[in-house]
Every structure is written in C-alpha cells, then in structure tokens.
Amino acid sequence: MKTDVHKGAFYTGEYRNLFEELGYSEEAVQAKLKQAWSDILGDDSEVQIYYPMGDDKGYLLDTGNIDVRSEGMSYGMMMAVQMNDKEIFDRLWNFSVTNMQHTEGRYKDYFAWHCKTDGTRLSQGPAPDGEEFFALALFFAANRWGDGPEPYNYSEQARRILRACVHQGEDGNGGDPMWDPATKLIKFVPESLFSDPSYHLPHFYDLFALWADEEDRPFWKDAAKASRAYLHTACHPETGLSPEYANYDGTPAEVQRHGDFRHFYSDAYRTAANIGLDWAWFREDPWQVEQSNRIQQFFRNIDVNDYRRYTIDGKPFEEPALHPIGLLATNAMASLAADGPDAEHFVQLFWNTPLRTGERRYYDNCLYFFSLLALSGSYRIY
C-alpha cells in the first residue's frame, strides 16, 4: 500500500479508498459505512450511542460515564455532515447550543465540556477539542447545506466560536483564549499552560484560515504550521507514541491533580488518526509518513486484546487499554499516511473488526466511525 506523491485531497479533490485498494467493492464499502451509521443511531442498547430528545434535539451518550460531552457532540456533528444527515446534525447542534454553550462571562461562546442527559451542566469549563470540531462541522454544514435561521446560521456560529478561541479575555471578561498567543498551540483547557497532542488538528486550522474572521486568518495559518512542528516533538522518535498531555516543547506534562497523563493512553490514540487525515487532506509534512510507519511498527505484533497503557518509549503497564477498538481504529487510520509493510495489515484487521458493544463503547465507536469514513475516502472537505 503506497501513498501517492501528488498533493492532498484539498488540492486534487481525490480521496483514497483504502478498502477498495485491498479489493473490496465500492458497494460493500458503502454498505459497511451505512450499516455502522445505522447502528450508532439505532436502538440496539449494546451498540447505540445516539439518543433523540424531544422533537428537535439529540445527544451522543458517553456510555462509560453516562454523560454528554462537547467532544462527543461535536464528533457526532462531524459524522452527520459527512453522512449528509442534516436532521441528526441539527438535533445535535440544537442540544449543544441550547444546553452547553455559554452566553456570558469568562467562557462566553465556549461549551461546557460535559452535562447530564437532560442538559444540566456538570462542569462549566470547556475542552478545546470540542470547540475545534464544532467549528469545522458547522463550516462544512454551511458549505454543504447552506445557512439557515439562527441557530442554524452555521457559518456565523462557527466564526463566533473561533473568535472566542483566539480573542477570549480581550474584552475584560476574565476569560482566556484556547490557543496560547505566544506559541499558537492549542491548550488542554483555556487556563492551562500545556497542551494535549491529540487536540492538534492542523488540517482543520488550514481551513479555518480560509473561513474564519478575515483578521484572524493569518493566525490560523500560523497555528497550522505550529501544530505540525509541535507533533514532531510530542511523538517519540522511535515508537511514535505520544503522551496524553504535553508541554509546549512536546515533553510530557507534569502529573496533574486529576491523574498522571504522561503516558500513551486513551486521549493519545487520536494523534495517529489526526496525522493520517492531515496527510490525506494536505500532504504538507513528509515526516507524517515516517511517523505513521513508526506507530504501526510498534503495534504490529501486539494483539488488540493485549493493548495496554504504555510509556512513550514503549514500556507496557499491567493496566489494559480501556478502549482497544478505538486504538485499533486510529492505528488503521494511520494508513492514510503510512507507506510501510504494516499499512495493509491494519486496514484489513480494522475491516474485520465490528463496532464495540457494551458499557465502554462510546469513545471506541466514535474513533471507529471516523476511521471508517477516512479509510473509505468518505471523510471529505466541504
């Protein structure tokens, strides 16, 4: 499985279907994608993660914690716009803007990071991975379906979110921006002095540089460049593993009061997927090919059932992975960039693996669906 030498899909409009490259028919691939979307939305209590609410709302449930997260809501909106499912998109957005988005104060225009299923907030603080997914999903919705009346004036809603991400606190409300002004790197939370490598989405920022407020477009272009460079420092040069939280120089962040996040664990799985999609869309950084080969080589001879927590230099803990299917999905999504001998292996293994069932299925199946979109050439720029 070799990567092409031409520019990415942003420039060519061409999206690789890695399943077809392995011999699966377009009909089989589309059937698998549609069935997975149906299962996520469906009423099988062992698989379902989407739940409708009333006439015009719905939410993705974190089935392990029984709450609703800005991460999952924004993920669901991105999935829905990719699947051309406007009803689900609008239900998720209406829940989010009604129950989770702040209208005043230090978090104005940010989203509370988690709430109860009835919309009651459990925490007021935001998590920047939600904001960046909300913004791009909204831009894609505007480009695919057109803007409507508030709150479905998607493009303005996206610009409002990004305006806060860059300028929060400038009006004296005591808030903080979500990107560090000095380094132009995304923060773990607005008040923090460190980052999360899996939050870095340079392929999103290149698109924000086209569609955000005109005055902020140079910032987003710089942010894309800064994030691509940052990932070089956050990913281990031999294993390809990254920590969950990392300082602005890429070194693992100190132990936090809510836990030790210096290792390769749940958050960090997304880094490989993000790098793969950035390569597929833009192909700006050849290092991403080497990095994707490295992480696939690390996991090649480890059975999915034996996935664990790891130090970033590759030492396993006794603690098993909480989301092994999610980790498999992101290892497979790395094949968008990888050109080594393991790329086909992970795509084939992923194809043969079903959605996760049971209590912890939410995070795994979000990552699973993104990988299914990406590997089928269906995770597209609109």
Distance (Å) of CA 2 to CA 118, 270, 282: 48, 22, 17
Is residue 110 classed as helix, strand or coil in its secondary structure?
coil
- The encoded tokens of residue 41 equal 């939305």
Instruction: Specify the DSSP element, H or E, that contains 59.
Output: strand 57-60
Residue 222 exposure: Cα atoms within 13 Å on the Cβ side: 13
Which residue, chain included where needed, has tokens 């000095």?
A: 182
Q: Are 90 and 76 in contact (CB under 8 A)?
A: no
Based on the residue annotation, tell me whether 27 is a catalytic residue of this protein: no
Return d(Cα 364, Cα 356) in angstroms, integer: 7
Based on the residue annotation, tell me whether 267 is a catalytic residue of this protein: yes
One of 267, 285, 342, 364 is an active-site residue; which one? 267
Helices (H) and strands (E) in the chain, counts: 14, 6
One of 62, 71, 109, 278 is an active-site residue; which one? 71
Q: Are 163 and 213 in contact (CB under 8 A)?
A: yes
Is residue 112 classed as helix, strand or coil in its secondary structure?
coil
Return d(Cα 15, Cα 6) in angstroms, integer: 12
The string of DSSP letters for 270-326 reads: HHHHHHHHHHHHT---THHHHHHHHHHHHHTTS-GGG-EEE-TTSPEEEEEPS-HHH
| Residues known to be catalytic | 71, 267
